[in-house]
């Protein structure tokens, strides 16, 4: 009997993360306002009296889940800040203040902690963020560092996950997949890109890809929408593993499911000119951006239509598994996005 | 060899908490501005463009350190929010937004978590705070719930720990000691009291008593100051344990060292009339408040003068130990405030 499960009933490990968050949201009731003021987007938005809109987000790194001893401590400190910055960037925001809460095993080396703080400091300098406070506690468990980040929206506009419509173009920054080859801590959160995008009225919705395209894309879709991807256009990272026996479909699974891409996925109004948008992007920003598809109507006859359509003639993708975060299986992240299986060279 | 202490060098367990925070502050360098904008007070203060001053603080509750299975889950949820609210109250602030980061063992009962969230919700309703976001992760260690709280200062004035002067009166709300008898989760953070005090210019400095008077009081003293307590006046909680063989001095040790009082300690300008202040307090607030002493000059001949003076004729207090937080010894909290030992009935 676990002391925090006295009766004993269902455990959190038996629930998917999505369902767990749904329950917590329900239990919080009226103290959690509707998104984007409450739970449900990359950050929560609030408006201080007389000031511009503020964004707040919180994310931890936990030893064995988000890093291990192969990751240099400075990179762990930077990753902690960067994963939070990526959430602020996803709404068109710019970070400004962070607080840090450390739960440390007594055996943590002071040198490790010094280098962790050094990496955090260098990253904070780069992204013009102050680290203004925190807490230090001891734990009998793994090192757990939690950071809460506040940002604001320089363009005055906050981009949410809602706002996309049927017909919208889907675009993504950078490249996807292969995060375990080092990208999961070497990534650059897309702050400049996010701020620039929030300033364009034709950009309608945005999210950062932390769990992978397969899990994150559906959050951008209107209720009657389905993503039609241009599978050949997907920007797959060079480092995506090629293992003996892999077929080409495995590379797509990596691109869609590895997670920790920390790229921005956004939609562009159907009536906007994509070539014109790309020209303006290239004049303003050095980052790669790719048109990867569009939002179509859900097929009317579909009883269990998947959020991402597999076009006819493409190899089966057996199952786009949920992102299981870094290294260790997280048994409670049981959310699966299953693509409908369609035999090759045959319309679904 | 611990993986996060590869060389192996000094561990965080070998350092006191105060020293550890000093090092972290040093490692963060210029990304941590001077207090109260950075580390060093109950909250960090920041001023959004055009808005009123904002306060930010973060504190966890960890299973086995801040609660155990004898504490009802609803009280754990409420305690998590209340310990953060107490930090906001300590600067004359009022809470408005919170985010919650949960690191949960897979074996955590869903029922336990529901009741935890219920307690958090009721407390948030009572203190008019929204819980706007968070994160859920899995951990192999103890349940760790971290909350970050934002508040603002309705009086427009933020009361810091600095600002006290020689001659100031020392006052405290409520009662001290015996927190383990249930007060550590049944306390009421002193928000109304803090806001009221911040509106009075004769109130000069304030702190909340989370680690106990012995550890927290010194933070209010000017460099050349020493607290002279009226030992008979100390408001000692009824529940302070009386064990066989205890002498009266043991009750003072409890009042000064148990910690988790979550009362406000503040100073009043020497020239202010204490009776007049107490009359106005009683007209405005139902809470007990007690004049417990004043700030005197450090004796000139003192080589190692303690921050709290033991008046002549009083029994020895062998050592005012550091607050060890709830239940479990925290080996790295090695900070000791040692009172000079003076034989009874003899001037020090």
Task: Say if the Cβ atoms of B113 and A50 lie within 8 Å.
Answer: no
From the list B189, B108, B215, B101, the residue with the least C-alpha distance to A101 is B101
pLDDT at residue number B116 = 98
The answer to whether the CB of A61 falls within 8 A of the CB of A164 is no
Question: Is residue A118 classed exposed, middle or buried when 0-12, 13-18 and 19+ CB atoms within 10 A define those classes?
Answer: middle
Interstrand relation of B264-268 and B203-208 (parallel, antiparallel or unpaired) = antiparallel
From the list A6, A15, A33, the residue facing B110 with the nearest CB is A15
> What is the rounded distance in angstroms from the CA atom of residue B298 to the CA atom of residue B318?
21
pLDDT of residue A310: 74
Residue-level pLDDT at A303? 65
CA angle A172, A212, A56 (to 5 degrees): 80
Question: Where are the extended beta strands (E) located within chain B?
Answer: 44-46, 54-62, 94-104, 130-138, 144-152, 169-173, 203-208, 225-229, 264-268, 289-297, 308-309
A46 beta partners: A54
The per-residue pLDDT for A89 is 98
As a whole number of angstroms, the distance between CA A161 and CA B341 comes to: 64
Cα torsion A268, A271, A275, A281 to 10°: value is -40
pLDDT at B9: 84
Mean pLDDT of B15-22: 88
Instruction: Determine contact, residues B164/B220, Cβ cutoff 8 Å.
Output: yes
Partner residue facing B58 (CB), from A110, A134, A144: A134
Scanning A59-88 for CB atoms below 8 A from B yields: 59-60, 62-65, 68-69, 73
Choose the mutation target among B2, B6, B12 for the interface with A, i.e. most A CBs under 10 Å: B12
Cβ atoms of residues A274 and A208 within 8 Å: no
Q: Which residues partner with A135 through β-bridges?
A: A101
SS3 state of residue A91: coil
A302 touching chain B per CB within 8 A = no
Q: What is the pLDDT of residue A9?
A: 84
CA of A232 vs chain B CAs: smallest distance (Å): 34
Range B312-337 average pLDDT: 40
Query: How far is A132 from B35, CA to CA, in rounded Å?
Result: 8
A21 CB neighbours in chain B (<8 A) are 136
Q: What pTM value is reported for the model?
A: 0.90
Are B38 and A132 in contact (CB < 8 Å)?
yes
Is B340 a residue whose pLDDT tops 50? no
Cα-Cα end-to-end distance for chain B: 48
Give me the residues of B, 159-198, that contact A with CB < 8 A.
none
Q: How far is A314 from chain B (nearest CA, A)?
A: 35
CB-based contact B60:A104 (threshold 8 Å): no
Looking at residue B50, its pLDDT comes to: 77
- Spatial distance between the Cα atoms of B148 and B55, rounded to a whole number of angstroms: 11
Residues whose CB falls within 8 Å of the CB of residue B126, separated by 6 or more in sequence, listed in order? none
B135 touching chain A per CB within 8 A: yes
At A58 the pLDDT is 97
Judge contact between A287 and A188, C-beta under 8 A. no
How far apart are the C-alpha atoms of B52 and A147, rounded to whole Å? 24
Residues of A in contact with B110 (CB under 8 A): 9-12, 14-15, 23
- Given this model, what pLDDT does residue A246 score? 66
DSSP A290: E
**Rounded CA separation B168/B206 (Å):** 12
Cα–Cα distance measured from residue B78 to residue B86, given in angstroms and rounded to the nearest whole number: 12
**2-21 in chain B: CB under 8 A from chain A:** 2-15, 17, 20-21
Residues 115 through 134 of chain A touching chain B, CB cutoff 8 Å = 117-118, 120-121, 124-125, 129-134
Q: How many residues does chain B have?
A: 348
The confidence band for B342, taking pLDDT boundaries of 50, 70 and 90, is very low
Query: A110, A128, A325: best mutation site toward chain B, by most B Cβ within 10 Å?
Result: A110
B263: closest CA among B297, B291, B288?
B288
Instruction: Count CB-CB contacts under 10 A for residue A156.
Output: 11
Which residue, among A76, A99, A152, would best test binding to B if mutated, counting the most B CBs under 10 Å from its CB? A99
Say yes or no to pLDDT of B316 above 60. no
Nearest CA-CA partner of B210 in B14, B17, B15: B17
| Bridge-based pairing state of the strands B225-229 and B308-309 | parallel
Q: Report the DSSP pairing between strands A144-152 and A54-62.
A: antiparallel
Q: Is the N-terminal amide bond of A36 cis, ω within 30° of 0?
A: yes
Q: Chain A contacts of B43, Cβ < 8 Å?
A: 133
Which pLDDT value is given to residue A152? 95
Name chain B contacts of A88, Cβ cutoff 8 Å.
Answer: none
Measured between beta carbons, the chain B residues lying within 8 angstroms of A140 are 64, 141-142
Q: How far is CA B13 from CA A104, A243, B58, B305, in A?
A: 9, 44, 22, 28
pLDDT in tens, B48-104: 877 789 999 999 999 999 999 999 999 999 999 999 999 999 999 999 999 999 999
> How many angstroms separate the CA atoms of B270 and B280, rounded?
17
Q: Does the CB of B246 have a partner CB in chain A at under 8 Å?
A: no
Q: Which residue of B has its CA nearest to A330?
A: B138
Using a CB-CB cut-off of 8 Å, the residues of chain B touching A51 are 48-51
pLDDT surpassing 80 at residue B332: no
Residue B327: per-residue pLDDT: 27
Indicate yes or no: CB of B5 within 8 angstroms of CB of A152. Answer: no
pLDDT digits (tens, 9 = 90+) for B257-285: 899 999 999 999 999 999 999 999 999 99
Q: Work out the percent of chain B whose per-residue pLDDT is above 70.
A: 86
Average pLDDT of span B163-171: 98
Give the Cα separation of A198 and B232 in Å (integer): 63
Name which of B5-14, B76-85, B278-287, B334-343 the model is least confident about: B334-343
Question: Quick one: CA torsion of A189, A192, A198, A199, rounded to 10 degrees?
Answer: 180
- What chain B residue is nearest to A69 in terms of C-alpha separation? B3
Task: Please give chain A's pLDDT, 348 residues, in tens.
Answer: 567 887 778 999 888 888 999 999 999 999 999 999 999 999 999 988 777 899 999 999 999 999 999 999 999 999 999 999 999 999 999 999 999 999 999 999 999 999 999 999 999 999 999 999 999 999 999 999 999 999 999 989 999 999 999 999 999 999 999 998 899 999 999 999 999 999 999 999 999 999 999 999 999 999 999 999 998 999 999 888 777 766 667 788 889 989 999 999 999 999 999 999 999 999 999 999 999 999 999 887 766 778 888 776 665 555 554 443 322 233 222 222 222 222 223 333
**Interchain CB distance below 8 Å, B108 and A65:** no
> Is B223 strand, coil or helix?
coil
Q: Give the C-alpha separation, B47 to A132, whole Å.
A: 13
**Distance from A336 to chain B by nearest Cα, in Å?**
17
* Cα gap A109→A112, rounded to integer Å: 5
Q: Contact at 8 Å (CB) between B333 and B269?
A: no
The 3-state DSSP class for residue B171 equals strand
The alpha carbon of residue A131 and the mean position of all alpha carbons in its chain are separated, in whole angstroms, by 23
Report which of B17, B13, B295 is spatially closest to residue B165, judged by C-alpha positions.
B295
The values of phi and psi at residue A11, to 5°, are -105, 160
- Tell me whether B25 touches chain A (CB under 8 Å): no
Q: Strands A203-208 and B264-268, how do they pair?
A: unpaired
Q: What pLDDT, on the 0 to 100 scale, is given for residue B318?
A: 52
| Confidence (pLDDT) at B106 | 92
Residue B303 banded pLDDT, cuts 50, 70, 90: low
Angstrom distances, CA of residue A238 to CA of A70, A178, A206, A254, A267: 21, 8, 25, 11, 25
Task: Give chain A's length.
Answer: 348
- Residue pairs spanning A and B at CB distance below 8 A: 336
Closest approach of B194 to chain A, Cα-based (Å) = 21
Asked if pLDDT for residue B348 goes beyond 90, the answer is no
Q: Quick check: B153 and B91 in contact, CB under 8 A? A: yes
């Amino acid at each position: 009997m676990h002391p925090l499960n006295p009766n004993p009933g269902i455990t959190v490990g038996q629930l998917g993360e999505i369902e767990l968050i749904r329950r917590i949201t329900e239990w919080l009731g009226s103290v959690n306002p509707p998104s984007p003021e409450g739970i449900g987007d990359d950050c929560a938005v609030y408006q201080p009296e007389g000031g511009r809109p503020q964004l707040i987000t919180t994310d931890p790194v936990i030893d064995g889940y988000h890093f291990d001893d192969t990751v240099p401590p400075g990179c762990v400190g930077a990753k902690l800040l960067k994963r939070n910055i990526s959430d602020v960037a996803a709404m068109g925001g710019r970070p400004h203040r962070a607080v840090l809460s450390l739960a440390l095993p007594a055996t943590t080396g002071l040198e490790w902690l010094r280098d962790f703080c050094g990496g955090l400091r260098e990253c904070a300098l780069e992204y013009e963020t102050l680290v203004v406070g925190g807490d230090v506690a001891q734990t009998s468990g793994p090192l757990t560092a939690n950071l809460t980040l506040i940002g604001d929206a320089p363009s005055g506009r906050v981009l949410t996950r809602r706002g996309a419509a049927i017909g919208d173009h889907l675009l993504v920054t950078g490249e996807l997949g292969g995060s375990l080859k080092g990208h999961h801590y070497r990534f650059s959160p897309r702050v400049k890109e996010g701020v620039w995008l929030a300033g364009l009225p034709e950009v309608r919705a945005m999210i950062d890809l932390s769990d992978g395209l397969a899990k994150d894309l559906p959050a951008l879709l209107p209720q009657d929408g389905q993503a039609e991807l241009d599978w050949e256009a997907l920007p797959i990272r060079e480092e995506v593993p090629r293992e003996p026996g892999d077929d080409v479909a495995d590379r797509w699974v990596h691109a869609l499911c590895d997670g920790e891409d920390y790229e921005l996925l956004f939609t562009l109004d159907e009536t906007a000119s994509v070539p014109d948008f790309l020209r303006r992007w290239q004049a303003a920003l050095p980052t790669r951006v790719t048109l990867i598809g569009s939002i179509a109507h859900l097929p009317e006859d579909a009883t269990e239509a998947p959020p991402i359509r597999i076009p006819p003639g493409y190899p089966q993708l057996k199952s786009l598994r949920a992102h299981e975060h870094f290294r260790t299986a997280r048994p409670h992240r049981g959310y699966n996005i299953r693509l409908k299986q369609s035999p090759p060279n045959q319309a679904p």
